[in-house]
């Protein structure tokens, strides 16, 4: 990759260096901040996890079937200890414990009622789905036992029959984390009202790059939190939505921008009763310096004001990622225009995978009108396989479902998403009363039709092209077929094309992205950078200026505009933007070196030298800065009086 520094070197004192680099002395600009093979992704991710501290369910005693009365100690306690106690215990998410006969007796009818209607334990997929890890469902026999126990008078039974109480790990489930970060400010959840969605931004939790094997999410008072997701924000863009640094911000969904091709690849999810998921060897998550973690939480009022200040525990590993899964997002939000009263509104999407993949996990997502959510794979041989079917969607219990064994989806498999919505008054969760037209959007009262799939491309190690990029490109083109005005698809496709050197088509898609969102800082910067790379600095300036108008502290745009102005001989203007870039990111050696070059061009040799020297302290291998500095020294020696 050609260093951006070369862009400034041709402008006078370092022409020699450029000529050496490309052999023809052409102006070469590349690797622009914020545009190189970057991406924008939107995601609410999740991870299911094992129930902590318990063995698989015991064989249920069939007291009723043998004619003996059903007792707590013999028949009921094993069910409650295995399937309920992970949440129904002190300091956990559930509102009461179910660890003793007294606990169970005082909620006996409620237990029978909620299990009979399969409200508890919360588990959405239908029975005939593929096998998922951590399946919480009770068997029909277990449910019948609970009912019989209540009908027979909640008999305690022989204490000798009582199994050992489940043992749970207190505190951090995976032991002491390598790093613990706490939300800088608590969020006050009002006593009443409807559900609330709040995002906490954890700023740069590490000071150097690490591989993570797990992130343990401790959302605070677990009774208030329905679910939470962590998003890795490599571009630190989510924090821009905060009114004050550290304050967090509201919103059900959020968009994360990334400057490098590093697509979302892991579900980082918390739900009540879940323990943190430890990534398998080879699937660690990279966490760099200057990366934020964003915790997206779904909160439910308790009846009194509550303060919430989540913490995250980070667990490192020395085993870097060797397997690179990717999260596929299927969606068809554009079709979401649901008339009031419609009880059976359908949204579909069909995507054909361009490479062989293994499906590891799946996460369907809709809001309050969602009714029936399913996904089916049609293999190249015509075989159909259900990937998931949720016949009674409930946003409150959404989760990631991880297959017990990965499902192989050969190249050419078509994944079909089939979501149904109920916008009638019969849907008790309908946020509008009376029902109103509902379209796609990020608010809870809007709707979504999203299906996330975590897939691992097969045999990617020897592939000439990263199969994730092949999938991303296929997905972006698929999205543009559905919606030619899909901003994110244009942007992501442009970034992918730029990454493999197809600059013409790339620039065209960046331009289309800007046409769709004329004031978007990221897209304008990317288009400006692409034009700059194509040797059209004058055309790049208006876009980079728009980017800075939208986001005045945008390092990348300052850096690129500095280059664009310098390319046109406006060194004073370039200095302004390089100085801003250095102020915004004092650790960037290229910005320091380019500022040095711009200063040298205007004759400010002393300050130029200091910036070259600083650039070299930041990056001793920055050869062009070294050569420029040497050239300054030579000029000084040749012009010095004898």
Residues that bind another protein (CB under 8 A): 95-96, 102, 105-110, 113-114, 117, 119-120, 122, 191-192, 194-195, 223, 301-305, 368, 394, 396-397, 428-431, 433, 444-445
Distance of closest approach, residue 392 Cβ to another protein, in angstroms: 10
Distance of closest approach, residue 31 Cβ to another protein, in angstroms: 48
Mention every residue, 6+ apart, whose C-beta is less than 8 A from residue 549. 519
CA–CA dist 513, 527 (Å, integer): 9
CA–CA dist 508, 527 (Å, integer): 9
First-to-final CA distance of the chain:
43
CA–CA dist 575, 538 (Å, integer): 17
Specify the residue, 177 or 219, whose C-beta has the smaller distance to another protein.
219
- What is the enclosing helix (H) or strand (E) of 201? strand 196-202
Distance of closest approach, residue 426 Cβ to another protein, in angstroms: 10
Mention every residue, 6+ apart, whose C-beta is less than 8 A from residue 637. none
Distance of closest approach, residue 347 Cβ to another protein, in angstroms: 22
- Three-state DSSP at 343 gives coil
Specify the residue, 176 or 304, whose C-beta has the smaller distance to another protein.
304
Task: For 408, list phi and psi in degrees, rounded to 5.
Answer: -80, 125
Distance of closest approach, residue 297 Cβ to another protein, in angstroms: 18
Specify the residue, 119 or 465, whose C-beta has the smaller distance to another protein.
119
Specify the residue, 315 or 368, whose C-beta has the smaller distance to another protein.
368
Distance of closest approach, residue 294 Cβ to another protein, in angstroms: 25
If you write DSSP's letter for every residue of 20-54 in order, what string do you get?
HHHSS--------TTTTT-EEEE-------PPTT-
CA–CA dist 376, 409 (Å, integer): 11
Contact 623, 14 (CB under 8 A): no
User: Residue 365's CB: how many other CB atoms inside 10 A?
Assistant: 22
CA–CA dist 26, 585 (Å, integer): 29
- What is the enclosing helix (H) or strand (E) of 287? strand 285-287
Distance of closest approach, residue 84 Cβ to another protein, in angstroms: 14
Distance of closest approach, residue 90 Cβ to another protein, in angstroms: 12
Specify the residue, 309 or 427, whose C-beta has the smaller distance to another protein.
427
Specify the residue, 225 or 330, whose C-beta has the smaller distance to another protein.
225
Nearest-Å Rg of the Cα atoms of the chain is 29
- Tokens 């490098």 — which residue? 260
Specify the residue, 45 or 220, whose C-beta has the smaller distance to another protein.
220
Specify the residue, 56 or 303, whose C-beta has the smaller distance to another protein.
303
């Amino acid at each position: 990759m050609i260093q951006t520094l070369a862009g400034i070197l041709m402008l006078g004192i370092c022409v020699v260096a450029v000529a050496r680099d490309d052999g023809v002395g052409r102006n070469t600009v590349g690797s622009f901040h914020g545009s190189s093979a970057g991406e924008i992704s939107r995601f609410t991710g999740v991870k299911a996890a094992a129930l902590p501290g318990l063995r698989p369910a015991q064989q249920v005693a069939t007291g009723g079937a043998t004619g003996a009365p059903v007792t707590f100690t013999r028949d009921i306690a094993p069910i409650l200890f295995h399937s309920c106690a992970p949440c129904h215990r002190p300091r956990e998410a559930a509102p009461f414990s179910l660890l003793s006969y007294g606990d169970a007796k005082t909620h006996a009818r409620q237990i029978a009622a909620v299990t009979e209607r399969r409200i508890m334990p919360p588990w959405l997929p239908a029975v005939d789905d593929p096998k998922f890890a951590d399946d919480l469902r009770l068997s029909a026999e277990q449910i019948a036992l609970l009912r019989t126990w209540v009908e027979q008078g909640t008999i305690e039974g022989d204490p000798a029959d009582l199994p050992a109480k489940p043992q749970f790990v207190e505190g951090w489930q995976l032991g002491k984390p390598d790093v613990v970060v706490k939300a800088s400010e608590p969020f006050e959840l009002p006593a009443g009202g409807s559900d609330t969605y709040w995002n906490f931004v954890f700023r740069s939790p590490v000071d150097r790059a690490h591989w993570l094997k797990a992130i343990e999410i401790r959302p605070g008072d677990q009774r208030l939190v329905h679910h939470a997701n962590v998003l890795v924000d490599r571009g630190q863009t989510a924090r821009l939505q905060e009114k004050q640094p550290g304050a967090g911000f509201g919103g059900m969904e959020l968009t994360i921008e990334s400057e490098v091709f590093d697509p979302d690849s892991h579900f980082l999810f918390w739900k009540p009763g879940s323990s943190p998921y430890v990534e398998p060897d080879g699937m660690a998550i990279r966490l760099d310096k200057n990366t934020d973690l964003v915790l997206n939480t779904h909160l439910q009022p308790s009846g009194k004001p509550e303060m919430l200040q989540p913490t995250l525990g980070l667990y490192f590993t020395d085993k870097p990622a060797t397997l690179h899964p990717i999260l596929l997002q299927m969606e068809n939000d554009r079709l979401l225009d649901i008339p009031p009263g419609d009880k059976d509104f359908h949204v579909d999407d069909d995507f054909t995978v361009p490479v062989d993949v293994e499906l590891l996990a799946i996460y369907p997502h809709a809001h309050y009108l969602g009714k029936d959510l399913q996904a089916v794979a049609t293999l190249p041989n015509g075989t159909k396989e259900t990937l998931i079917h949720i016949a009674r969607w409930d946003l409150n219990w959404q989760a990631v479902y991880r297959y017990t064994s990965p499902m192989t989806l050969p190249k050419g498999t078509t994944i079909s998403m089939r979501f149904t919505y109920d916008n009638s008054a019969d849907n008790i969760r309908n946020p509008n009363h009376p029902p109103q037209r509902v379209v796609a959007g990020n608010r809870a009262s809007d709707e979504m039709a999203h299906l996330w799939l975590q897939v691992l491309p097969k045999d990617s190690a020897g592939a000439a092209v990263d199969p994730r990029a092949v999938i991303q490109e296929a997905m972006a083109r698929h999205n543009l077929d559905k919606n030619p005005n899909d901003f994110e698809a244009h942007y992501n496709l442009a970034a992918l094309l730029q990454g493999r050197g197809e600059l013409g088509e790339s620039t065209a898609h960046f331009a289309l992205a800007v046409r769709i969102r004329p004031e978007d800082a990221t897209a304008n910067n990317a288009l400006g950078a692409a034009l700059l790379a194509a040797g059209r600095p004058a055309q790049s300036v208006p876009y980079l200026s728009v980017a800075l108008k939208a986001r005045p502290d945008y390092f990348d745009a300052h850096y690129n505009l500095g280059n664009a102005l310098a390319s046109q001989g406006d060194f004073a203007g370039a200095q302004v933007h390089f100085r801003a870039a250095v102020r915004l990111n004092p650790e960037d050696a290229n910005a320091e070196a380019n500022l040095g070059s711009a200063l040298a061009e205007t004759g400010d040799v002393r300050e130029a030298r200091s910036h070259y020297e600083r650039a070299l302290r930041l990056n001793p291998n920055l050869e062009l800065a070294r050569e420029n500095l040497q050239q300054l020294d030579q000029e000084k020696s040749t012009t010095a009086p004898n």
